[in-house]
Structure 1
């Protein structure tokens, strides 16, 4: 089994879980993903991003453990959809998620620290 397929539990706050959930679900809303971007984020296609994204979001909301691959895809999808006005939600983010930019950045930085340190850079 690859390290990316290893299931890992990460203790996130409700606020952090909500952010990742919204970051994945937004791709089915105002965001405009391309096939190339979906692949760069770690999905097989835009259709896979939508299907797997909803599954991952549901698992995150329920507090389930995820594979390193799924944690990575959730974080990347959230970072892009929040920040990009061209492909993501951008300026529509607050209206569609209810999260203002300042709160989103604060929570996103916390999530990045938790995931990048523990999940995305596993010891070899």
Structure 2
């Protein structure tokens, strides 16, 4: 079993990741290729495993480095992409403004950089 890592994220940073993971089951339009690119076995795995990761992030539970990376990458794509993600609908569907989201995303990226 992979080592589990605790990452000191603020409540807002956790909300960003949870929102990012949850958006794949909402306004986003994931494809099997995109899901695999993010490290999931397919769309069903993205929705299932992404939901588990989101619950753990919200509960402040430790995750494997791979799961932290998947949470971050899934959030990056769903926030920015209007083709497969939430894109321009992000602020409406999550309640997080673009300005707030990019600031939080950069903070999370800095905290997760270097996870093996």
Q: Normalization by structure 2: what TM-score?
A: 0.97
Decide which structure has greater helix share.
Answer: 1
Correspondence list, 1:47-86, <5 A: 47-86=44-83
What corresponds to 1:109 in structure 2? Answer: 106
4+ residue segments displaced more than 6 Å: none
Task: Please list the CA deviations of residues 67-99 of structure 1 after superposition, one character each: whole Å capped at 9, or x if unmatched.
Answer: 011000000000000000000000100000000
Pairwise CA distance, 1:6: 2.0
Structure 2 residue runs of 5 or longer lacking an equivalent are none
Structure 1 residue runs of 5 or longer lacking an equivalent are none
Cα distance in structure 2, aligned partners of 1:6 and 1:48: 21
Cα distance in structure 1, aligned partners of 2:7 and 2:108: 10
Pairwise CA distance, 1:25: 0.2
What corresponds to 1:14 in structure 2? Answer: 11
Cα distance in structure 1, aligned partners of 2:40 and 2:3: 17
Give the superposed CA RMSD.
0.8
